C-alpha cells in the first residue's frame, strides 16, 4: 500500500518542479497555521518519544488503546507533559497523521506522475483521489478518531492543503468554473467517514470506490474516462 509506515522516522526530501511552485507557495500558506513551533532539542526529543509511544499503542491495541494516560505511561513521562504538548487526544492523533499527510503532499507536489507533476491535470486528479482513498482505508480508525469537531473540521490546515491541490487542478481543466466550490463535492467523496460507511457498513470493495472516483472525475470535468 502507498502509505504504510506513517511513523517512519525520516521523510525524504523532494523537489518542487517549476510548474508546481505556485501551488507549493499556496500550500505553504494554508499549512503555516498547523506548524509545530520551533522546539528546543530536548522538547523535540520528548515530542518524538510521545509519538513513538502512541504509534506502538496503536500497533498493539488499536486506536482505542491510545489515551493520554496510556501514552504518558508508555513514554514514562507525566500525564501533564502529554497534555501540554498536544492539548487533547484529538491533537495527539492529528500529530500522528501529520507525517503521512506530509508524505502525500510530497508525492503530489514533487513525486512522479501521474500523481506528481508531468501528467495532464485530469490524470493527476484521478491519481490523487485513488491515493487518498487507499491512504484513508489503511488508516481508517486513526483518521476517524482524529477528525476535528464539525465547527473546525473544514478549516483544518491538512484538509485545506488537499482542497487547494484539487482546486488548482480543476482550474487547469475548467478555467471558467468556480473551482473552489467545485472541489467540495470531490473532496466529500474522499471523506474518511464516507469511506468507513461504504466499505465497512455497506461492504463495498475498494475497487468499486476507486472506479466511482474515476467516474466522478470524468463527469465533473466533462472529460472521457480512461480506457
pTM to 2 decimal places: 0.75
Per-residue pLDDT of the chain (227 residues; tens, 9 = 90+): 333 444 433 333 333 333 444 565 555 544 443 445 555 777 778 888 888 888 888 888 888 888 999 999 998 888 898 998 888 888 888 888 887 788 899 999 999 999 999 999 999 999 999 999 999 999 999 888 888 667 667 777 778 889 999 999 999 999 999 999 999 999 999 999 999 999 999 999 999 999 999 999 999 999 998 98
Count of all residues that appear for the chain in the document: 227
Domains of the chain: 22-221 (1.10.357.10)
Confirm if 124 and 113 have CB atoms less than 8 A apart.
yes
Distance of CA 220 to the CA centre of its chain: 22
87 phi-psi bin (left φ>0, alpha ψ -120 to 50, beta other): left
Amino acid at each position: 500500500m502507498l502509505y504504510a509506515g506513517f511513523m517512519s522516522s525520516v521523510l525524504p526530501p523532494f523537489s518542487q518542479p517549476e510548474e508546481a511552485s505556485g501551488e507549493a507557495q499556496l500550500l505553504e500558506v494554508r499549512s503555516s497555521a498547523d506548524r509545530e513551533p520551533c522546539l528546543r532539542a530536548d522538547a523535540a526529543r520528548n515530542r518524538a518519544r510521545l509519538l513513538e509511544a502512541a504509534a506502538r499503542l496503536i500497533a498493539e491495541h488499536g486506536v482505542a488503546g491510545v489515551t493520554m494516560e496510556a501514552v504518558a505511561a508508555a513514554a514514562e513521562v507525566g500525564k501533564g507533559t502529554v497534555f501540554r504538548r498536544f492539548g487533547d487526544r484529538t491533537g495527539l492523533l492529528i500529530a500522528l497523521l501529520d507525517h503521512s499527510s506530509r508524505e502525500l503532499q510530497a508525492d503530489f507536489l514533487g513525486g512522479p506522475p501521474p500523481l506528481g507533476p508531468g501528467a495532464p491535470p485530469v490524470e493527476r486528479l484521478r491519481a490523487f483521489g485513488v491515493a487518498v482513498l487507499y491512504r484513508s482505508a489503511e488508516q481508517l480508525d486513526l483518521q476517524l478518531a482524529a477528525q476535528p469537531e464539525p465547527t473546525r473540521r473544514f478549516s483544518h490546515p491538512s484538509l485545506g492543503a488537499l482542497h487547494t491541490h484539487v482546486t488548482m487542478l480543476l482550474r487547469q481543466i475548467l478555467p471558467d468554473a468556480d473551482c473552489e466550490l467545485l472541489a467540495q463535492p470531490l473532496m466529500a467523496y474522499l471523506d474518511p467517514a464516507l469511506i468507513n460507511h461504504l466499505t465497512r457498513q455497506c461492504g463495498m470493495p475498494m475497487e468499486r470506490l476507486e472506479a466511482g472516483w474515476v467516474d466522478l472525475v470524468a463527469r465533473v470535468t466533462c472529460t472521457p474516462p480512461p480506457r
